[in-house]
Amino acid sequence: MTGIVQKIRSLQWQHFVFILLIAAVAIGSDGCKTTGKLSKKERKAQIEMAKKQLSEIINGTSTRPLEAQERTVNEIANKHFKDPELDKMIEDARQVLKKAFAERDKLKQEKIDAARAELLDMLLNKDDKSADELESELAKIKAMNLGDKDINDLIAKVEQKIAGMRNKKNVPLKNQLENSFQGIADASKSGNANQVMSLTKGTLQLFSSDDATVLIIISKEGSIVDYDKPTTIKRYLEFVRDQKASRNAVDSYRLDSGGKIKDLDLIKK
């Protein structure tokens, strides 16, 4: 009886040891996978997948953003498969992406240059476009989302110009003239030739012609008025620009039948 019990215990112990061995093999197998070791079959599958991804990049058939494609190339390279064909494809893909990034940057710069030219034209408004027309053109540029600081600054200036054009209708003509004179003086003083040109053009549009008469009052006592030598509005604006100062205020003006100023009287401040 004792012998039978001992045999049973021996069989149970052997069975327990066998189970431990199986568990150890399984753990060892999982351990190999977690340390990055691949079977030949797994390595081959990953290399084939990497080649497929690189082929799409090299052939230009990938629809993903360039940054995502670049990350894929770097991830493949960092796995160090040491496959000669794959290594060459990695280098080819990097060259393709380098060229693609350069082309994208070139196109973006062309768009920025074109937008800058359009915005500067809008500030000058040589074609005398309305606030609504300028706003429509500006919306197209803003929709491009160029993300360039200079372009954003110009957009802000055009927005200010449009707002000024809309508010200008509510400003008395006397104030419009004096604001324009001071604006030309300030812009000339700061060396902003474009703004001087824009303000000059806008001011001249208030007059019946560039040769509208401008008289500057030297002294005024009751009905006795002493004038300086007559000039024209165009010459007066050039004088303000050259002097970089506006020393006269609007005394009076007369309009023609179209609502334009036909002559203007100024008086020293």
What confidence tier does 225 reach under pLDDT thresholds 50, 70, 90?
A: confident
> Are 90 and 73 spatial neighbours (Cβ–Cβ below 8 Å)?
yes
Q: Is the pLDDT reported for residue 23 higher than 60?
A: no
Dihedral sign, CA of 34, 39, 45, 47?
positive
User: With the C-alpha atoms ordered 177, 256, 197, 114, is the resulting torsion angle positive or negative?
Assistant: positive
Contacts of 66 (CB under 8 A, 6+ apart): 97, 100, 101, 104
Output the pLDDT for position 240: 97
pLDDT digit string, tens, across residues 67-118: 999 999 999 999 999 999 999 999 999 999 999 999 999 999 999 999 999 9
**pLDDT at 176 > cutoff 50:** yes
CA distance 46 to 82: 12
Residue 218 in 3-state DSSP?
strand
Q: How confident is the model at residue 32 (pLDDT cuts 50, 70, 90)?
A: very low
- Asked whether residue 245 carries a pLDDT value surpassing 50, the answer given is yes
**Percentage of the residues of the chain whose pLDDT score is greater than 90:** 70
Q: Given pLDDT bands bounded at 50, 70 and 90, which one contains residue 174? A: very high
pLDDT above 60 (res 24):
no
Burial 38-77 (b: 16+ CB within 10 A, else e): eeeeeeeeebeebbebbebbbeeebeeeeeebbebbeebb
Q: Tell me the pLDDT tens digit for each residue of 125-170.
A: 888 788 889 999 999 999 999 999 999 999 999 999 888 887 766 7
**What are the structural domains, with CATH classification, of the chain?**
65-101 (no CATH), 110-168 (no CATH), 173-268 (3.10.450)
Where residue 196 falls among pLDDT bands split at 50, 70, 90?
very high
User: DSSP assignment, residue 90?
Assistant: H
Tell which wins on pLDDT, 7 or 71.
Answer: 71
Q: What mean pLDDT do residues 181-205 have?
A: 92
Which residues neighbour 176 within 8 Å (Cβ) at sequence distance 6 or greater?
168, 206
Whether the CA torsion 140, 142, 146, 152 is positive or negative: it is positive
Q: What percent of the chain shows pLDDT beyond 70?
A: 86
Which pLDDT belongs to residue 172? 87
The answer to whether the predicted template modeling score (pTM) of the entire model surpasses 0.75 is no
Tell me the average pLDDT across 203-217. Answer: 95
